[in-house]
């Protein structure tokens, strides 16, 4: 029956769309820097913060990529271009972002951020 065929197909499409959705990921370079330039350009509220760094909520990120070139220490990656050594950060961002408050305004970088930036080679 056409009605029964339609529903499963629709559900399959929806599931596939969810599986294929990519996100952007904040990695270790943000730690002890927190320049927040990324927050200034993000069109949605997907950044969350703790006392060390920021995390992106994968369910809120619309994959625009605007934040990537803004970070002075290149801490943010498109998930599809994440180096293998940073794969763990996908789960960290997903987990931490759900537990921490949204940050949607820029703020002062951490004291020592410029020094750490130099140490990181930027």
Own/partner pairs, 6-10, CB within 8 angstroms, 24+ separation: none
Closer residue to ligand SF4 (CB): 46 or 109: 46
Piece in contact with ligand SF4 (CB under 6 A), picked from 10-18, 27-35, 59-67, 111-119: 59-67
* Chain residues that interact with ligand F3S, rule: CB under 6 A: 26, 30, 33-38, 53-54, 70-71, 73, 75-76
Residue 90 makes contact with ligand SF4 by CB under 6 A: no
Output the smallest distance, CB 21 to ligand F3S, in A. Answer: 21
Residue (of 68, 75, 61, 71) closest to 23 by Cα position: 61
Q: How close are the terminal C-alpha atoms of the chain, in Å? A: 62
């Amino acid at each position: 029956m056409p009605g029964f065929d339609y529903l499963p197909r629709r559900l399959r499409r929806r599931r596939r769309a969810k599986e294929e959705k990519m996100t952007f990921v904040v990695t270790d370079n943000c730690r002890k820097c927190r320049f927040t330039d990324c927050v200034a350009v993000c069109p949605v509220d997907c950044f969350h913060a703790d006392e060390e760094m920021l995390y992106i909520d994968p369910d809120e990120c619309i994959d625009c990529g605007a934040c990537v070139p803004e970070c002075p220490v290149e801490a943010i990656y498109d998930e599809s271009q994440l180096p293998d050594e940073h794969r763990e950060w996908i789960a960290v961002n997903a987990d931490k972002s759900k537990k921490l408050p949204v940050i949607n305004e820029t703020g002062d970088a951490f004291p020592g951020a410029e020094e750490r930036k130099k140490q990181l080679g930027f």
